[in-house]
Structure 1
Amino acid sequence: MDFTLNELFNISPNLRSLLTDIAIVIVILGISYFILKVGKNLLLRQLRKFTRKTETDLDDQIIEIVNKHIIPIGYFIICYLTFKEIQINETILGLARTFLSIAITFCTSRFLVDLSRVVIKFYSKKYHYSNSIVEKNIDALFPAIRVVIWTLAGIFIVSNLGFDIGAIVAGLGIGGVAIALASQGILQDLFSYFAILFDRPFEISDLVSVDEFTGYVQHIGIKTTRIKALTGEELVLANTDLTNSRLRNYKRMQSRQAKIKLGIIYETDNSLLPKIPTIIEQALTPLENITFDIAYFSEFGDFSLDYEVIYFVHSNNELKIYRQAQHEVNLAIKFAFAEAGIKFAYPTALHYVNQVK
């Protein structure tokens, strides 16, 4: 069987048309990539000249994100528009369009994720005090933003695949209500997570007290918050429990009030009683991180004359400073009382015995 060259090419006109379309597409995509590359370099060069004159580094970081993502996004868009105009097999064309639509959505979502991370980091640096706290706050907020972006991207992809989102949601019916009721606790924790992040009742590394638990905040998650207790163990508390509780944040205070109740024996000389507040004040005034407030005769106890001492410790978030201050205050009062000849009371009972003749 002999075939001429002309017969070989005429054996399938559709194949020749397909090959021609493919060649045209390759040429268009190649030229488009070159133009996109050159245009990107020219645009970024001008933008970098402008951003060098600004004081903030936010615009520089945004330009780097654009530089990272503009080529993939732009090239996939060009591919989508090119395949949309050519005439080839509808099945192949539909698959190509679907793939390119998913690719554009994926690249755009990555761009938005990186952009949100940079913006959150800039906001954190502007309103917080240390780089370590900034990074931890980003770790707390960024997962929620990322979940929202990728959820929207997934909905868009499902819609482009030909599924009716409205019909799917409506078709859930009672099953959707049951799922919503079952996930009610999770949704409450999620909303509480956003309340914690935006209202900021506490932050990473803050010393907080919830009910009988006290410790340092280590991690703020979407459902739970982890606290390192002062006793060493890790506490895992639901975000809803934290937002519904009366929480104490010790980092926000400038100083901490402390009270001491002292009891001296009833046999103390009356001339010493008015001097005791002055003796206590003189003992506490030289101490560091201590501000004396008042000392006074509070009440007659069962076996002692009771005095109450109030002072302030400038410890902020450092519990160790507060405890060290308590130690120094107790020693100072003990030494001052010993020097003045004042004796502390201890539980005693006096029994009267009548002799029976």
Structure 2
Amino acid sequence: MLLEFLTSTYFDNSVLMWGYALGTVLLFIVFSRIVLFVAKKYLKKLTSKTKSDFDDLLVDLVEEPLAFFIILAGFFVGYQFLSFPQSVSDIFYNILRVLVMLDIIWFVLKFTDSFFERIIKPITSKTKTKLEDQLIPWIKKTVKIILGFIGIVIVLDNMGIDVFALLAGLGIGGIAFAFAAQKTIADAFGGVSILFSRPFVIGDTIRFANGAHTGKVEEIYLRHTKVRNLDKQLVIVPNSILAGEIITNITKTEKRKVMWTIGITYDSSVEKINLAKKIISNAIKNCELCDSDYTVAFQDFGQTSLNILVIFYTKQATFKAMAAARDIIGLEIKKEFDKNKIKFALTTQRIQLKQ
């Protein structure tokens, strides 16, 4: 009974041959899982202890692409137990060939990723400038796109598709696409301009859009730049806008200017005005965050106050340093004004009624 079942035929092959074929495929799948497990569990631990990054690169490569290649090899070996018409075999081998090529493309792209992450990045991180660090992601993406495109062309050619005719058709459509993608192209050129002219780099605090936005640059991409503003909101700015903007790089600024107009009441005597100026000057002098260059002078007669002009500079240009200096000086002025009975002027309005 069992022998009769094993010798029975389905799709021109006996059950026994189908069993050999499926068993072979399953065996290769199990073997691929073992290879993947060993690579992730043990090889990575061993290579992480070595000084060289080359062995880490090799382990990255032998993971998924190699496991998939082993599975494809299992299908190839398993198919040898079966007998099909030549037309069916041609279709099977063509599909298998395409899958092998796609696996090779996967391998090459994974190699590119690992090569840039484990070999190139550690080298560029040791340089003094940040230009190389910003260029690496762009170069990596460009290389991967080119390699992927070449791989797809080879696959299509092996499938019998006329690649040159296809590319010619894409060339005609590319003209229309170029018109539609003018904004994208402008953003890309803006990104290249920013990268090489370097008005700012990642980590710089900038002010742009006529002073409407101030924030820290987090990422610079080909099309846009990500800026985290003072409200901790992420602002995504097209590079074409930034490339044509007047940008103030606060990080590159040596000092940061603070300007106040402090108004005191009109009933203040000249002595009180001079005392107020002295209190303000001392507050600035005693603040360690402030530069020695400052101005404190009587400004003008306001509608409701006698105005004193105050200009000082912080030693650091960061927003935190400026806010801290304003806080220290402002509270010191308030404390001394209260102690010496100097009154801040309030905005008032006088209404005269005629009877």
- Aligned counterparts, 1:66-77, within 5 A: none
Q: Secondary structure at the match of 2:251?
A: helix
Gaps of at least 5 residues in structure 1 are 1-51, 77-90
Change (3 A) 1:200 1:268: same
Q: Percent identity?
A: 27
Partner of 2:173: 175
Q: Which of residues 130, 138, 153 in structure 1 aligns to 2:147?
A: 153
State the shift of 1:182 in Å.
Answer: 1.6
Partner of 2:191: 193
- Kindly indicate whether the alpha-carbon contact (under 8 Å) linking 1:303 and 1:347 is maintained by their aligned counterparts in 2: yes
Partner of 2:127: 126
Deviates more, 1:294-303 or 1:226-235: 226-235
State the shift of 1:280 in Å.
Answer: 1.7
Provide the alpha-carbon RMSD of the alignment. Answer: 4.4
Change (3 A) 1:353 1:68: closer
Which whole-Å CA distance do the structure 2 matches of 1:208 and 1:238 have between them?
15
Gaps of at least 5 residues in structure 2 are 1-49, 70-89
Partner of 2:311: 310
State the shift of 1:165 in Å.
Answer: 6.0
State the shift of 1:259 in Å.
Answer: 0.7
- Aligned counterparts, 1:39-188, within 5 A: 60-61=52-53, 65=57, 107-118=107-118, 119-127=120-128, 141-160=135-154, 161-162=156-157, 167-188=165-186
State the shift of 1:295 in Å.
Answer: 0.8
Partner of 1:251: 251
Which whole-Å CA distance do the structure 1 matches of 2:59 and 2:328 have between them?
60
Change (3 A) 1:164 1:148: farther
Q: Secondary structure at the match of 1:202?
A: coil
Q: Secondary structure at the match of 1:287?
A: coil
Which whole-Å CA distance do the structure 1 matches of 2:127 and 2:136 have between them?
17
Q: Secondary structure at the match of 1:307?
A: strand
Which whole-Å CA distance do the structure 2 matches of 1:63 and 1:287 have between them?
55
Which whole-Å CA distance do the structure 1 matches of 2:346 and 2:98 have between them?
86
| TM-score between both structures, scaled by the size of structure 2 | 0.61
- Kindly indicate whether the alpha-carbon contact (under 8 Å) linking 1:262 and 1:307 is maintained by their aligned counterparts in 2: yes
Partner amino acid, structure 1, of 2:346? Y
State the shift of 1:62 in Å.
Answer: 5.7
Partner amino acid, structure 1, of 2:229? A
Which whole-Å CA distance do the structure 2 matches of 1:298 and 1:256 have between them?
22
- Kindly indicate whether the alpha-carbon contact (under 8 Å) linking 2:296 and 2:310 is maintained by their aligned counterparts in 1: yes
Change (3 A) 1:113 1:267: same
* Deviation readout 1:47-97 (Å, 9 max, x if unpaired): xxxxx9xxxx8xx44686479779x9xxx9xxxxxxxxxxxxxx89x9799
Which whole-Å CA distance do the structure 2 matches of 1:158 and 1:284 have between them?
67
Which whole-Å CA distance do the structure 1 matches of 2:269 and 2:136 have between them?
67
Q: Secondary structure at the match of 1:127?
A: coil
Q: Secondary structure at the match of 1:312?
A: strand
- Kindly indicate whether the alpha-carbon contact (under 8 Å) linking 2:296 and 2:311 is maintained by their aligned counterparts in 1: yes
